[in-house]
Amino acid sequence: MKSNKRKCLYCNDILKGRSDKKFCSPDCKSAYHNQRTNIQEDYIKAINKQLRKNRSALKKACPWGKATVRKEFLKQMGMDFKHLTHTWRTENNNLYFFCYDYGYMQIDDPKKVLIIQKQDYMDNHTKTG
C-alpha cells in the first residue's frame, strides 16, 4: 500500500495542505537547500584540494620544466591521476593531461610519464587541421 502521507524533505514531519508542498516550513526549505549546497561545496572543495595536490606533486617531480618520472613516485607524493583540469594536444598528436600549469603525457614505458610545465604558446594553440 502506498502511503499518501508526504513528509517534509528536511525534518520528516508529516505535511499538510497543498499536494506540491515539499517542506513543512520556509525554515526547513532553506535548511534543506543549504545542506545540499554544503554537500556540493564540500565535493568541489575536495576535488580542488586534490587538484592542488596533483599540481604540487607534478611540480616537485619536475622542477626544471620537463622531466620523466615514475608514476609510483607521483602517487607517493599524493598524485591522483583521475583528477585533472584540462588536456592539451600537441602538433604531433601527443595528449597531455594538465593540473593547472603542470601536465603529463604517457610515454612508451607504461610505468612512467613525461611531465612538462605550461608554456605561454599553449594558450593560443588551436588545431585547425
Q: Which of residues 18-37 bind Zn ion (CB under 5 A)?
A: 24, 28
DSSP conformation class of 123? T
The answer to the question of residue 15 lying near Zn ion (CB under 5 A) is no
Which position has the grid cell 611540480?
A: 59
CA angle 79, 82, 85 (to 5 degrees): 90
Nearer to Zn ion, 28 or 84 (CB): 28
- Specify the residue, 15 or 122, whose C-beta has the smaller distance to Zn ion: 15
We find the least distance from the C-beta atom of residue 13 to Zn ion, in angstroms, to be 5
3-class state of residue 50 by DSSP: helix
Report if residue 62 touches Zn ion, rule: CB under 5 A: no
